[in-house]
Amino acid sequence: MTLPASVSLRLKAIRHELQPRHLFPAFFAGIVIALMTVTIAVSFAALIFVRPINDWMSYGSELMVFTAIVAGLGMVFFSSFPGMIAIPEDRVAPILALMAALIIHTMGASAPPQDVAMTVLAAIALSSLLAGLTCYLLGQFHLGNIVRFFPHPVIGGFLAGTGWLLVIGSCHVMNEKYSSLDNMGDFFSWDVMLTWMPAAIFGVLLYSVSRRIKHYLTLPFLIVLAMIGFFIWLYFGGISVMAAREKGWLLEVDTSETFRPLQMVSWLGHANWGAILLQSGSMVAILLTVLISILLNTTALELAVDRDIDLNQELRAAGLTNLAGSLGGGMASCQSLSLSKLAAEMGAPSRLVGLFSAIICALILWFGTGLLGCIPRFVLGGILMFHGIEFLVEWVWDAFFELATEDYLLVQVILIIVTLFGYLEGVGAGILIATVFFVVKYSSITIVKAAFSGVNCHSTVDRWPPQKELLRTHGEEIHILRLAGYIFFGSANNLLNRIFQRYHDSKLPQLRYVILDFQHVSGMDASALVSMRKLIRLAIREDFTLVVTSMSEELAHHFEHDGMGFYEVPNLRAFPDFDHGLEWCEDQILEDESARLQKLPDSLQQILNNAYSWPIDITPLFRYLERIEMAKDQQLMKQGDIDSDLYFIESGRVQVHVELDNGRQMRVRTLHAGTVVGEIGLFVQRQRTASVMAEEEGVAYRLTSAQLKKMEIEEPSLALAFTHYIIWTMADRLSAQNLTIQALFD
């Protein structure tokens, strides 16, 4: 049987690490991590298996240790980071406890405890199976970055709520009767306080010391010290271990039979699947929590060890380990930030650490389950309290100084809802509020990438100077909006209001054309189409034309399907690109104002005289020009050729276009009568960067560089006046471009 290449590489890495200088640090780290893992796992079991299924806590503890074994081995063979450690996820434990409590409530007091326990165990296994399958598929199809789209405040609310549930769970481990806000009056009575205060004090101590002493052995040392201190107290107090167990100070552990995780398969038939299906919301919460935990833990570990970690590979690794663990009834697990950092800080960032830890946990599970009963209950409650305080301080205190006000308030709202109503309600409300915040914030972001008028933005059509001047005069009648991003009801409504304000702006001329350029629009929702219909009704009512350009086929289909066909609705026009749309608006203005426009002269000499104040008589200029009768589609210049000819357009129209690599042509400029083309090539003899072709029949006059040199010798005054004219022409074009560029930055 051939192993996958990635697993084979990791086996080779393990064999390479089997050297004395690697073995001892890895073995020592494995022992520490195994003891921490077992203690944490048992604390989760104490949180989940409460009355009336508390007799199953011994089995639940073994089940949690089994989960740690499978998760640890999975990381050894599948993680992208050599020292990755995985354990039952602490953020999932309170949700499982809540799910167990709801199952107990659903099945009622009359249900046999064994049936209730089997139902809880089946629900735990099913949640692990769903989490494993989802994680694996996300990683396999390289969709890990989807996890990064969880809103940060909602994640904070998740974790703050988890912290609260862990604090409550800590008290519940110590005293099952008092664990909610409903009985807070008795919670602080002296007899009750004696039950939960040891765990609370130990949890606060763990947090306070670990926050001040940043050493990898701080937590293990305090836990071991607390356990030793507890048994010393029992010894000097004359209290036997049996008596302490009867008082509830130690766990009740059944050592009569060996742990067999696969017997879970035979128990599934006894589960109440109706009660399990009612917990689908909790399972979704577990799934989201596992995904969030993997994202947070791997990202934080990357920063801690200064090494890139493959998120998709970690999702696959977590998926495989959860799938394997679910077959034995294990709870959801994922990569542990604290224990993975612990291995690195102990100088053993090696796969051997996870391997040794899993082996030691397996030995404890197989031969020494009685040792689990030697863990004081206040230690288990203190560990839960420690994790709860850690989450609460991070997201209630630290977040106050780190998050924006609205983000911080969202975190606290989720925490309050979790406290008063429940975890699922808090999560649901958080997602809803975050969505509303997103919509409000996104609505305030304008979809208008740039705004122009016909004064500072012109089409690439080069016209006779009097026509240019007329277009400048009426330029404010054209309102241009270049859009970008995704348009939805909020941003579309802002766009409608913006156009409405422009129409009623008394300081500007009456609006005649509104151009909406959709070139950079990625999409539009149905509600945005409603705003577009309102805009079209406004255009019809107020008698201006809405010009839509560069719209994708998909968006155009939505417009037409919604009854906004571009050739059916009055006052609505569409063009394939922005330049042609703007050209059409300019042509309409020139046509409407044709009576005020001076008629284009018949001869080129008259055109030049009317366009520019020549200081001398330019009649001799025509001795140096060659008259050309242009046929339609005749090429005057070819891209890539080296020539220095200049052309005056007397009549007709020519197009300047660039040949693209894909064989298509892109229009650069269109020139009408009274314009000039090729002026740069006349003075700088380089390869032509574009082609020039006649779009219709007409007349042009050509001036070559040889004829210009001849003019400079024979008619120096004329040559100087001609050069001034070319400079004036180029400056006029450059000035128009500068206005457009300036408008982009306004």
- 333/468 same-domain check: no
CB-based contacts of 114: which residues, under 8 Å, 6+ apart?
270
Is residue 44 domain-resident? yes
Buried b (16+ CB within 10 A) or exposed e, 167-180: bbbbbbbbbeebbe
Q: Which of 199, 238, 204 is nearest to 375 (CA)?
A: 199
pLDDT band at 3 (very low <50, low <70, confident <90, very high): very low
Task: Tell me the two tokens of residue 457.
Answer: 């933005």
In whole angstroms, give the CA distance from residue 292 to residue 91.
Answer: 10
Whether 733 maps to a domain, the answer reads yes
**pLDDT mean over 515-523:** 91
Residue 15 in domain: no
393 occurs within a structural domain = yes
Asked if residue 674 and residue 561 are part of one domain, the reply reads no
Q: Is the pLDDT of residue 555 over 70?
A: yes
**Gyration radius of the chain over CA positions:** 39
The Cα angle at residue 537 between residues 535 and 542, in degrees rounded to 5: 95
Q: Is residue 591 part of a domain?
A: yes
pLDDT at 32 over 50: yes
SS3 of 505-558: CCCCCCCCEEEEEEEEEEEECHHHHHHHHHHHHHHHHHCCEEEEECCCHHHHHH
- Say yes or no: 582 and 660 in one domain: no
CB 740 within 8 A of CB 456: yes
Same domain, residue pair 179 and 268 = yes
Which uninterrupted H or E stretch holds 676?
strand 676-677
Residue 660 has a pLDDT of 81
Same domain, 193 and 144: yes
Residue 432 domain flag: no
Residue 577 identity? D
pLDDT tens, 110-138?
899 888 998 999 999 999 999 999 999 99
Beta-ladder partners of 39: none
> What total number of domains does the chain contain?
3
- Same domain membership, residue 374 and residue 278: yes
- Which single residue is written with the structure tokens 């020519």? 654
Please give the average per-residue pLDDT across 555-577, as a whole number.
79
The mean per-residue pLDDT over the stretch 44-57 comes to 87
pLDDT of residue 659 exceeding 80:
yes
Model confidence band, residue 722 (pLDDT cutoffs 50, 70, 90): very high
Q: Mean pLDDT lowest for which of 30-44, 172-186, 461-475?
A: 172-186
- Distance (Å, whole) CA 318 – CA 522: 35
- Final residue of a structural domain among 536, 562, 596: 596
682 located within any domain: yes
Last residue of a domain, one of 546, 570, 596: 596
β partners of residue 272: none
* Res 369 pLDDT > 70: no
**Which candidate, 738, 649, 739, 742, places its Cα nearest to that of 693?**
649
> 1: pLDDT confidence band, cut at 50, 70 and 90?
very low
Q: Are residues 608 and 586 in the same domain?
A: no
How far apart are alpha carbons 641 and 626 in whole angstroms?
Answer: 20
Q: Give φ, ψ of 549 to 5 degrees.
A: -130, 155
Q: Which of 420-424, 538-542, 633-637 has the lowest mean pLDDT?
A: 420-424
- Tell me the two tokens of residue 51: 């009355």
> Any bridge partners for residue 629, and if so which?
699
pLDDT in tens, 285-303: 899 889 988 988 888 888 7
Q: How far apart are CA 413 and CA 261, in angstroms?
A: 41
Q: Are residues 451 and 404 in the same domain?
A: no
Distance CA 254, CA 113 (A): 16
Q: What CATH number does the domain containing 477 carry? A: 3.30.750.24
In a domain, 435, yes or no: no
Q: How confident is the model at residue 350 (pLDDT cuts 50, 70, 90)?
A: confident
Where is the domain boundary, 546, 566, 596? 596
Q: Which residue has the higher pLDDT, 225 or 305?
A: 225
User: Are 295 and 386 in a shared domain?
Assistant: yes
Range of the domain at 371: 22-423
Is there a single domain that holds both residue 193 and residue 86?
yes
SS3 658: strand
CATH code: domain of residue 724: 2.60.120.10
| Average pLDDT score, the chain | 84
Are 363 and 468 found together in one domain?
A: no
Same domain, 564 and 710: no
Cβ atoms of residues 163 and 391 within 8 Å: yes
Cα 595 from chain centroid (whole Å):
57
In DSSP terms, 545 is beta-bridged to 513
Give the model's pLDDT for residue 719.
92
